[in-house]
Amino acid sequence: MVERDLLIFRRIAELERSIAVKDTEAFKALPEEHRFLMTNYSIDYLMELARTIREALLGPIGDYYLESRRDILNDISLKLYNQYLLPSLQRIDIYVEMRN
């Protein structure tokens, strides 16, 4: 159980370290589409985190892990949605509205 927690939190730390803060040289070096969509983080790290969470929930130990860590997993899911997915989805919605 602790190993799964540690691996998930390690992946979250990697993802957070990959964020290019706005108005920095790293942010300005991003391609225009990444700046527009606010994907100023490593998509690969986000995918690796999602893969790690999915693998942690596989099998009978995964079922037990889900039951015992449901609160933490809900918090992680909400954080990922609010911080990484929602801004990009809102930008896509804005773009689609501007095109129509």
Contact (CB, 8 A) for 80 and 53: no
pTM of the model: 0.83
The domain locations on the chain are 2-99
Show the CA angle centred on residue 4, arms to residues 63 and 51, nearest 5°: 80
Per-residue pLDDT of the chain (100 residues), as tens digits, is 889 999 999 999 999 999 888 888 888 888 888 888 888 898 999 999 999 999 999 999 999 999 999 999 999 999 999 999 999 999 999 989 988 7
Q: Please count the helices (runs of H) and the strands (runs of E) in the chain.
A: 7, 0
* Confidence at residue 99, expressed as pLDDT on a 0 to 100 scale: 86
pLDDT tens, position by position, 52-81 = 999 999 999 999 999 999 999 999 999 999
> What pLDDT is stored for residue 27 in this prediction?
84
pLDDT of residue 36: 84
| Alpha carbons 25 and 45: distance in angstroms, whole number | 21
Rg (CA), the chain: 16
